[in-house]
Structure 1
């Protein structure tokens, strides 16, 4: 086997592995039979408290935060008014405007979200994908979020979001929501 053929075989093998690995992650349908059943319009209604951490790609906690969320729905349209308080003393506000499209599908917008977020609920899970304009060291990065939420009971939901840019894993946000 020539060197060129070996390189071609190796490149093809690596590319195939990358494609298969990309497809190997969980899908929202994997949770269709899990209970309790999550209805975002019911859970995100009223006031919630959230507690979270941001970890870098090595797993080190970089920042802790709390969030007070005031949530309401009018028909198929929802508002999640979030006030963040970070461990470094900074604060932030984000107001999500959600729309229920039926069949567990949702869209959302916020001032610091680029374009429209798309999400889908099945069973006890919700998967939400969006691009966030994230201020970092005086610059604004457009960071991709793959955001998963899991309803534990009528008051508690866990959330884990992976952050990436150009396909490179930057870190994760992990938080718990507690309904008042």
Structure 2
């Protein structure tokens, strides 16, 4: 009788854990607007973000200026970080599109290869980053989720962990500038509407 109860208990625990596995990128396949990563990360982009520790305290705030460019299936995303304490950082991603929404990427401070998948308006990006802290380098894992809100705005939330333990979260808001023609037409169009 006891072995049966133990098996039932284990089965119930496994079912509970499976139910709490979290979202998969495919869950967003029907969401609009559909994200074309090559189109979004093409040209200049600005982002504002913060890092929160596992207790929720904001530890760092930062801005990022990015420039993306693509040639066919190969892309480069040059990120320039400016932190609230005045420190600066640069990361240059070399990206490859493999079709069916699948991407890989490399950067100098990333261990091995990052991999990601687009579905609908969402992009999930996983990688291990070499993080300098107090003169030491720690390898930490990032589970990075991006959600396209409209053609210019994308929101990003990344969980940082080591040995499976959550260390904190990074939140970012990406913003693409308006196309030059639309920006120039905007004030004229507004003036015309006011007449």
TM-score with structure 1 setting the length: 0.90
2:106 matches 1:105: no
1:12-23 map, 5 Å? 12=10, 16=14, 19-20=17-18
Query: Aligned partners of 1:44 and 1:150: how far apart in 2?
Result: 13
Equivalent residue number for residue 32 of structure 2: 35
Query: Where do 5+ consecutive residues of structure 2 fail to align?
Result: 178-195
2:32 matches 1:46: no
Quick one: which of 123, 127, 132 aligns to 2:124?
A: 127
Q: 1:87 to 1:102 in 2, by over 3 A?
A: same
Query: Where do 5+ consecutive residues of structure 1 fail to align?
Result: none
TM-score with structure 2 setting the length: 0.84
Query: Aligned partners of 1:38 and 1:156: how far apart in 2?
Result: 11
Higher strand share: 1
Quick one: which of 132, 137, 157 aligns to 2:134?
A: 137
Query: Aligned partners of 2:46 and 2:12: how far apart in 1?
Result: 44
Question: Per-residue CA shift, 1:99-121, capped at 9, x if unaligned?
Answer: 00000000000000000000000
Q: Deviation at 1:138? A: 1.3
Equivalent residue number for residue 68 of structure 2: 71
Question: Per-residue CA shift, 1:35-69, capped at 9, x if unaligned?
Answer: 00000000000000000000000111000000000
Query: Aligned partners of 2:160 and 2:12: how far apart in 1?
Result: 24
Higher helix share: 2
Aligned residue-pair number: 175
